[in-house]
Each structure stands twice: as C-alpha cells, then as structure tokens.
Amino acid sequence: MGKGNIVLCGFMGCGKTSIGKRVAKLIGQEFCDLDKYIEKKEGMTVSAIFQQYGEKGFRQRENQAVREVARRQDLVVACGGGTVLFPENVVALHEGGGTILYLQVPLAALQERLKADTQRPLLQKPNRREVIAQLYEKRCPLYEAAADRVVMAGAPAVVVAKEIGRMFL
C-alpha cells in the first residue's frame, strides 16, 4: 500500500474511531479523529455547530479541517460519516498520498448500534431506523466510490483493526 495517511470512512457507527485508534497503536502512527479536530478548533461540539451554523456551516468547517489534516503524511484519520460524500474532500485526502478505506457494516447492525445515540444531529429524529436506512442506501455507493479499498467491518473493533494493521505493516 502507498504511504501517507490511512483514512477511514463509512457510515455513522461503523467503527471509524474505535478501529482507527487501535490501528494507529498497532502500526505506531498518530490518530486523528476529524470530528474531534473540528470540535477542538471551534471550541464547540459537532451538535452545537449544527445548531448554530446548520449542516452547511458544519460542512464548511469539515472541508477546512480535511485540507489541514490531508497535508500530514503520518496519521490514521477517522473521518465523519459525511466527509467523503463531498468530492473535494476525497481529492484533498488523496492528494497527500492517503489511502481511503471504507469500513462496511450491514444496515441492521448500524441501526442497532445507533438506536440510543444522542450525539449525532442527523439522527435526532423520531423515525430513526428509517432515517438510517435512507441515508445508508444513498451513501453506500458514494463510500465505495471514494474508497481505495473496502473492509468488511462488522466484526469487533480489535479484529478489524488487526486486519487493517496487517495491510500497512
């Protein structure tokens, strides 16, 4: 695999953060969670950014964060669930030689994992299972298109992280 950042993308709840942290540890690279990066920079939570500036305001901040993080070469990056839906983000992430991995998890597992979530603004709706199903259908082809590789990620984070770690050691 090429050098550069290892970038994890995929649906909310697919394990980008928990798997990413473990991959970083396994291969001795620094971990960067894009949402946390934005929160630190803005001094606000993602929820508060959505509330105050709307999704558009969040996406602008996310794009700026992507461009900053993509300049680095030595990171394991956990994207947000929407990051690679925007072609300019994919271009920026690839430019530094980053490899994008799509963590694919079946819809039913995601619905189960996300059923009690209170942090993700897009899911704070009464018909959550349906919202997730619709977003999933729309987004899956875009994750696939953005990714250099698809990783089946339904297994526990430790297992998936080891598999990814092996690709980069």
Q: Which residues contribute to the site for ligand S3P (CB under 6 A)?
A: 12, 16, 35, 46, 80-82, 120-122
Beta carbon of residue 5, minimum distance to ligand S3P (angstroms, whole number): 17
Nearer to ligand S3P, 8 or 98 (CB): 8
Residue number with CB closer to ligand S3P (2 or 98): 98
- Least distance to ligand S3P from the beta carbon of 102, Å? 13
Structure-block tokens of residue 58: 């969040």
Least distance (Å) from ligand S3P to the CB of residue 61?
A: 10
Cβ distance to ligand S3P smaller for residue 46 or 161: 46
CB closer to ligand S3P out of 2 and 106: 106
The size of the chain, in residues, is 169
CA 67, 73, 78, 83: dihedral to nearest 10 degrees?
30
CA distance 121 to 141: 22
Closest contact distance (angstroms) between CB of 9 and ligand S3P is 9
Q: Which is nearer to ligand S3P, 28 or 126 (CB)?
A: 126
List Cα–Cα distances, 13 to 29, 65, 147, in angstroms. 23, 21, 18
DSSP string, 71-91: T-SSEEEE--TTGGGSHHHHH
d(CA 77, CA 58): 18
Least distance from C-beta 169 to ligand S3P, angstroms? 25
